[in-house]
Structure 1
Amino acid sequence: MLSERGVRVALILKEPWKFPPSESSLYDKEKNPNGIISLATAENISIPKAAFTYAYGSPYCAALTVPIARHINTHFKPCTPISSSHIVIANGVTAVNDLLGYVLADPNDAIMINRPIYGKFGLDFGCRGDVGVVYADTEPLEVFSVDVVKKYEEAIVTAEKGGVKVRAMLITNPHNPLGGNLIKLLGRCYPPETLRELMRFCHRRNIHFISDEIYALSVFDSGETGTIPFTSALAIDPTGLLDENYIHVMYGMAKDFSAPGLKLGFLISKNADVRKGVACASRFGRPSGVSIAIASQMLNDEAFVSSYLSLCRETLARTYKFVTALLRENNIPYLPGSNAGYFVWIDLSAFIPPTTEQKPMSKTDREIALAERFVEAGVFLQPGDEQSYTPGWFRLVYTHEEEIVTEGIRR
């Protein structure tokens, strides 16, 4: 009854780590004390009549593109001002990934991403667009070095030998799951020179450069040394590096504004053809006019935005210090130096079951076996296999009430 791709997509539902637990299964101290504590999903917990019209849900709706452009110019410090005409609205950054993959790549082409990385890009690009992901595997501490370009070069050469055409490079900046602007051992995280070198690489390879900056303003003072401030790809002068028509930035309301339910994502690009393609394809996932109305009111109140972002940074700093202290108390290794995002990268490799001649297990099977043990104990963590080629690493999301985080780690 279904097409081949329909059958393939439907089968993905059988993979439990691809989607978060249902709301009814989640932990609640009073109503469901034995429920699942999800430490995997990155959440941080007056409408005009026009908002209920089709037109207000346009991907070009000026009620939102104008304040978003102002917001980007104020906080991202672009090298040249962003105009509202450079922005396309979609129903979430996940949708922007899907749309960009659709207009930049053909079926069986690929987007190149470093790994460790957020584990759902394969779904974002492959589920409907049939666009693959090529991973440039790196150690966590080399992700932000200019030398990381060598790993991208190795990955693209391998892909080309296999007949795969890479159409774009995607980075997450701040990084997900490494926690953004770190690393205290290297003292760098996508510093300007690394961004420039990545753009030079894209120019040499004639591919697009995509920067997912959804956590751009969720940057805080972690109290750890060697952290580096966030630098947007828009702040880099592309002259002599890469044609600006090949540079695309994604942003949204889900993380910095703790509003994933608004389902609003933004593509910022000076490439008119890319914007047109994304706007046309977004017909099947237009933003809600009500969401646009809410977001525009928020962004037009610049005093509120400043106050809210300041409060969020203070809260993130406090919760990060709390969870890392808790991890140390429980002798759980983690990657230090994070100062952005909602997560910490923890090392549970000591607990994955071994593979033996009597019972051979792949890296994926070993991690899933450990993740299943967590679920049995009432804790949901995504297997690191979705995010890292090194077995045993998990992304722990700590933006919960302290009591929930404490109980989750205890379990």
Structure 2
Amino acid sequence: MTYVDEDLLQYTDWRGQPFLRKEVARFLTFYCKTPKPLDPENVVILNGCSAVFSALAMVLCDPGEAFLVPTPSYGGFAFSTHLYAKVKLVPVHLESQVSANGYPFQLTVDKLEHALLRAKIEGKKVRGLVLINPQNPLGDVYSQDSMMEYLEFAKKYNLHVIVDEMYMLSVFDEAITFHSVLSMKSLPDPNKTHVIWAPDFCISGFRFGALYTHNREVASAMSCFGYLHSISGIAQYKLVKWIDNIYLPSYHFRLQEAHRYVTRKLKASKVPFLNRGSGLYVWINLKQYLDPCTFEEELLLHRRFLDHKLILSPGKTFMCKEPGWFRLVFAARPHLLRNGEWS
């Protein structure tokens, strides 16, 4: 890990070093269970998933155009899309109320259709659909059937689909099976399906994000952003050492233990939450502590947590339609979780 070669100190390939792109393709081929080996030439590596997403927005859209995004969703998307490309997000609002044969915050094609129609009425040109699987902050894992429905919807309306699979290796519940988009033998529109991934190994300081796309024109355009958003050669070399199957068993065990501890405490405190088996967070309902239940009160409660050195991200930062929901990150060492409890 301390090895430094002179070649690593030179300018890197804008797409990412060939040895790292080859390793990423091999890694995703194995863990995504792809029908055939992935091509390293379809891999583009930049300094973080946000950089990849922001660059994709510039490549796929003109300023003022939009993406559909189911909400609540990762709040960084709004910043990433608007920073360079001035691309807008059209929220597909999901509700906590459970409909017949449904579950809380369920994404359906009907909701996508409704959001797309609303965008057209408002004069917005939608160019794509953004999906996170496993979902952040909900922790939901989309089934193959559901994902195929979303992809068919996108093809019907000639939309690109950006699938963020960053947390695919953070599914710690053995009863849940994650299916990558890359595992599908036949995609409705391969040239408009783009996958973002980064190793969810708690090494975010490496600033690594990868794109896999079957569309060579998109890959070529994305590689230009390596001029501004590349990773140092030394970091790329070290990343190759991390991208293997040694870390995962311990990682899953630690996530299970931390999730079990936090959810047990939430149940004892009678705090409702979505009980999912993936991701690094729990989506919790603190509406009972808001009076009145408004986003203003939600922000005040968030600040009270901060005063006690606890960070619970308020639902509004995830574009949640309902006030009172918070994301609690549980991926921490046991003593920190215990300190948080007493805080």
- TM > 0.5 between the two? yes
Q: How many residues align?
A: 334
| Native 8 Å contact 1:191 1:228 kept in 2 | no
Which residue of the other structure, out of 252, 256, 269, is the alignment partner of 1:317? 256
Q: Tell me, yes or no, if the aligned pair for 1:88 and 1:267 is still in contact at 8 Å.
A: yes
Give 1:143 deviation, angstroms.
Answer: 5.0
What's 2:282 paired with? 344
Task: Note if contact 1:109-1:167 (Cα within 8 Å) is conserved in structure 2.
Answer: yes
Give the 3 Å change call, closer, same or farther, for CA 251–102 of structure 1 in structure 2.
Answer: same
- CA gap 1:142/1:382 in 2 versus in 1, 3 angstroms: closer
Assess if the C-alpha contact under 8 Å between 1:173 and 1:213 holds in 2.
yes
Could you tell me how far 1:268 is from its partner in structure 2?
0.1
- Residue type matched to 1:400 in 2? A
In 1: Cα distance, 2:62 partner to 2:82 partner: 11
Kindly indicate whether residue 270 of structure 2 is the aligned counterpart of residue 331 of structure 1.
Answer: yes
Give, in whole Å, the separation in 2 of the partners of 1:144 and 1:87.
31
Residue 142 of structure 1 deviates from its aligned partner by 5.3
1:263-274 equivalence runs, <5 A: 263-274=207-218
Pairwise CA RMSD:
1.7
User: Do the aligned residues in 2 keep the contact of 1:345 with 1:395 (CA within 8 Å)?
Assistant: yes
Output the amino acid matched with 2:5: P
Tell me whether 1:172 sits opposite 2:172 in the alignment. no
CA separation in 1, counterparts of 2:240 and 2:303? 42
Aligned-partner Cα distance in 2 for 1:127–1:58: 21
1:364 paired residue number: 295
Amino acid of the structure 1 residue aligned with 2:268: E
Question: What is the identity, as a one-letter code, of the residue corresponding to 2:21?
Answer: T
1:192 match: 144
Shift of 1:128: 2.1
Of 67, 76, 87, 2:32 maps to 76
1:205 maps to amino acid: Y
Per the TM alignment, residue 79 of structure 1 is displaced from its structure 2 partner at its CA by 2.9
CA contact (8 A) 2:14 2:224 kept: no
User: Quick one: distance in 2 between partners of 1:402 and 1:100?
Assistant: 38
Report % sequence identity. Answer: 30
Structure 1 residue 161 displacement after superposition: 0.7
Query: Of the candidates 48, 70, 74, which is equivalent to residue 118 of structure 1?
Result: 74
Shift of 1:380: 2.0
Provide the residue aligned with 1:393 in structure 2: 325
1:384 corresponds, among 315, 324, 341, to: 315
Query: Is 1:275 matched with 2:219?
Result: yes
* Residue 233, structure 1, aligned to residue 181, structure 2: yes
1:220 offset after TM fit, Å?
Answer: 0.9
1:29 counterpart residue number: none
Preserved contact between residue 249 and residue 268 of structure 1 (Cα < 8 Å): yes
Residues in 2 aligned to 1:367 and 1:109: alpha-carbon distance in whole angstroms = 31
Equivalent position amino acid for 2:7 in 1: A
Name the structure 2 match of 1:129. Answer: 85
For 1:268-307, list aligned pairs within 5 A.
Answer: 268-299=212-243, 305-307=244-246
TM-score normalized by the length of structure 1: 0.78
Q: Which amino acid aligns with 1:278?
A: M
Alignment counterpart, residue 168 of structure 2, candidates 198, 212, 216: 216
Unaligned runs of 5+ in 1: 1-45, 182-189, 300-304, 356-362
